Amino acid sequence: MKPENINRAFLDGVLDGSHEDVYYHFGVVSSDPILDRLRDVEAVIMAGSGGRIREFADRWSEINGGSEIVAFPKEDRFVTRYTAGVLFVSHGMGMPSASIALQELMRMVFFLKGGDLAAMDEVFWCRVGTSGGVGLPAGTVVVSSEGVMADLQPYRLLKGGDGEYWFDGRFPADTYNAIIAANEGVADFTVVPGRTVAGNEFFLEQFRLDGAICLETPESKTAWLEWLDQNGVRNIEMEGAMIAGYLNHWGFAKFAMICCTLLNRLEGDQVTSTPEQLHKFGEDAGSALFNYLEACLLHA
Ligand code: R2B
Ligand code: URA
């Protein structure tokens, strides 16, 4: 961990009881007894949609002998489920939404672990999601090595004083290699490592030609996608650069992003797979995660 980057000016007062922490978007405060049931959390799994969170939690509970599932009552922003050591949380779409979930979750994990940096270091974080593939057929699972923005630079934000703050978007190699290894000879789908672009928009910052607003030409779109391809980018989604950046900022050791591809962006823009195919793609990304959790992390 990087203790100097943890906002102790605010968080220490939560631990010593001077004030509560309000996890506003989850509808929970630090003194809420429901949090006692999450103290043994070993992994935080994030996905875009609440439906996928419910499915993942049911599946993980089944794998763990029907373990009890705890749900936060408020669900109008993010859906949360906790079972068998894993906290499953939806984060919505895009970095503004996902950053709210992640900041409150990082504070919650700090509180749940009593500020114990060694215990926090053991927590595994993962986003499981969908993406557009770059030169990969639909249905491929990409485990990210680095999250960058559409200009291939890391996630950054405006800050006071001296301009922009740049985050480190790299995912820990030990973790993504272990996820790939846990799926070798087990998965009936292809799992590859690669850099991932997080666009700030599904249409414009992913250089699509099918938006209501289009700022690209076929030539500028192809040039961008080929540039990504030549620079080791294997898929495009909307959250990874921020997620890696924030988790690196606190210095977490184990985190990853596993995304299935819904289409090959070198071949088109529209997502035309059937609902059955889309469901299978989402399930495969979940299987890639669960194969790792079962083999390497929990109950190892
Ligand atoms: C992948 O899929 C969503 C957009 O359809 C977005 O949240 C993402 O990263
Ligand atoms: N999600 C994205 O962000 N982009 C795609 O092309 C597909 C899913």
Instruction: Give percent above pLDDT 70 in the chain.
Output: 99
Of 69, 94, 122, the position where a domain reaches its end is 122
Asked if residue 152 and residue 73 are part of one domain, the reply reads no
pLDDT of residue 299: 59
pTM, full prediction? 0.98
- Name all residues whose Cβ lies below 6 A of ligand 2: 130-132, 202, 206, 236-238, 262
Asked if residue 176 and residue 116 are part of one domain, the reply reads no
Asked if residue 100 and residue 3 are part of one domain, the reply reads yes
Domain with residue 47: its CATH number is 3.40.50.1580
Asked if residue 173 and residue 42 are part of one domain, the reply reads no
Q: What share of residues in the chain are helix, strand, coil (percent, to 5)? A: 40, 25, 35
Question: Half-sphere exposure of 105 toward its Cβ, with a 13 Å CA cutoff?
Answer: 32
Of 122, 138, 169, the position where a domain reaches its end is 122
Asked if residue 153 and residue 246 are part of one domain, the reply reads yes
Q: Give residue 115 CA to ligand 1 midpoint distance, Å.
A: 32
Torsion of CA 281, 282, 287, 293, to 10 degrees: 140
Asked if residue 111 and residue 52 are part of one domain, the reply reads yes
Q: Give residue 65 CA to ligand 1 midpoint distance, Å.
A: 32
H helix or E strand, kind and range, residue 55: helix 50-63
Q: Which domain holds residue 111?
A: 1-122
Q: Give residue 201 CA to ligand 1 midpoint distance, Å.
A: 9
H helix or E strand, kind and range, residue 121: helix 117-121
Q: How many domains does the chain have?
A: 2
Of 85, 102, 122, the position where a domain reaches its end is 122
Asked if residue 152 and residue 88 are part of one domain, the reply reads no
Query: Is the Cβ–Cβ distance between 129 and 257 less than 8 Å?
Result: yes
Q: For residue range 212-270, list pLDDT tens digits in order.
A: 999 999 999 999 999 999 999 999 999 999 999 999 999 999 999 999 999 999 999 99
Q: How far apart are CA 172 and CA 66, in angstroms?
A: 32
